[in-house]
């Protein structure tokens, strides 16, 4: 049995949050560079260059990639041989509080959706845990801005809607989101589960590596088809038109009820922030 102490977890979460807000993943930068090579319109190219320059400035000058430093979503994979003598959620929230207070990131969390009083700690964050075998703890920290989250959609389709119904829903959702999700976007699609599970599948799809391909044959084909169709919509970077609307479409699937076909679409803007560590 391995014991992880409170300070180790808190400090790891703090450092991951800080790194994610300053350092855009290199794979996203490379995705933007590839998009730049495909574009011909001057304004479209200028927008992509500015997004890349913004990421470079954020990294070198330690300025947040975006002013919306987000509500933080944390994914945990907890090995069955890992032991904690404290509440995991407390250490995670304390790590986030320390990061946001220490770096003066914008505090973006209110204590109640209707009284709108800021907690001024950027907590609580949203924590999803999964039990796995082994003596490791995997932590993925994802600050998520409201711009892309607010345009995300969920629909309970029925089995007769089938694949074409799913494609229509995803494309309609992307068209509705347009430039408001600060594209180039990453589109996370969750198909299956139930009402809440499909949303979680779509959120988890967003943290898959950009080059990752689904091992599910149907989802794999769907990812390629949707990426092509989304990039033909001419929404383009920040909605100015172009071929680079999405850097990736990721489809996660799960078992569901015989009478249901839940589908969720979770958007990630170009400020795709997530970092992970294994303890």
Instruction: Write down the least CB distance from residue 43 to ligand SF4, Å.
Output: 18
Please state, in angstroms and rounded to a whole number, the distance separating the CA atoms of residues 8 and 91. Answer: 9
Q: Rounded to 5 degrees, what are φ and ψ at 48?
A: -65, -40
CB-based contact 48:12 (threshold 8 Å) = no
Among 32, 52, 66, 219, binds ligand SF4 (CB under 6 A): 66
Of the candidate residues 170, 182, 187, 247, the single one contacting ligand SF4 (CB under 6 A) = 182
Interface with ligand SF4, residue 145, by CB under 6 A: yes
Strand partners, 261: 157
Instruction: Output the residue with the shortest Cβ distance to ligand SF4.
Output: 145
| 188 binds ligand SF4 per the rule CB under 6 A | no
Residue closer to ligand SF4 (CB basis): 91 or 181: 181
Residue 3 Cα distances to 81, 136, 141, 202, angstroms: 9, 10, 21, 32
Give the other-Cβ count within 10 Å of 128's Cβ: 13
Question: Within a 10 A sphere around the Cβ of 113, how many other Cβ atoms?
Answer: 6
Nearer to ligand SF4, 66 or 261 (CB): 66
Q: Which stretch binds ligand SF4 (CB under 6 A): 54-62, 141-149, 162-170, 258-266?
A: 141-149
Q: Judged by CB, which is closer to ligand SF4: 79, or 145?
A: 145
Nearest alpha carbon to residue 149 among 237, 272, 24: 272
CB contact at 8 A, 179 and 272: no
Other beta carbons less than 10 A from residue 166's beta carbon: 20
Instruction: Output 179 or 241, the one with its CB closest to ligand SF4.
Output: 179
List the one residue from 4, 74, 246, 271 that touches ligand SF4 (CB under 6 A).
Answer: 271
Interface positions with ligand SF4 (CB under 6 A): 66, 68, 145, 147-148, 181-182, 269, 271
């Amino acid at each position: 049995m391995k014991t992880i102490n409170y300070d180790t977890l808190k400090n790891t979460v703090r450092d991951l949050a800080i790194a994610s807000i300053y350092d855009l993943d290199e794979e996203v930068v490379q995705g933007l560079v590839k998009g730049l090579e495909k574009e011909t319109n001057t304004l479209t190219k200028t927008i992509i260059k500015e997004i890349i320059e913004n990421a470079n400035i954020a990294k070198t000058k330690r300025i947040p990639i975006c002013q919306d430093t987000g509500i933080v979503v944390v994914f945990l994979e907890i090995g069955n041989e890992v032991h904690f003598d404290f509440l995991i959620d407390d250490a995670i929230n304390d790590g986030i509080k320390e990061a946001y207070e220490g770096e003066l990131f914008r505090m973006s969390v209110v204590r109640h959706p209707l009284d709108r009083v800021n907690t001024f700690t950027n907590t609580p964050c949203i924590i999803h845990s999964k039990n796995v075998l082994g003596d490791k703890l995997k932590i993925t920290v994802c600050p998520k801005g409201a711009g892309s989250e607010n345009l995300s959609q969920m629909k309970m389709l029925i089995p007769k809607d089938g694949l074409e119904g799913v494609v229509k829903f995803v494309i309609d959702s992307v068209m509705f989101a347009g430039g408001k999700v600060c594209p180039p976007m990453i589109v996370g699609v969750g198909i299956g589960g139930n009402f809440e599970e499909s949303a979680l599948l779509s959120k988890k799809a967003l943290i898959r590596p950009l080059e990752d391909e689904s091992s599910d044959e149907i989802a794999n084909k769907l990812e390629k088809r949707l990426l092509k169709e989304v990039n033909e919509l001419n929404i383009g970077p920040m909605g100015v038109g172009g071929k680079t609307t999405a850097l990736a479409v990721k489809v996660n699937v799960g078992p569901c009820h015989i009478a249901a076909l839940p589908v969720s679409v979770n958007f990630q803007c170009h400020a795709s922030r997530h970092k992970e560590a294994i303890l």
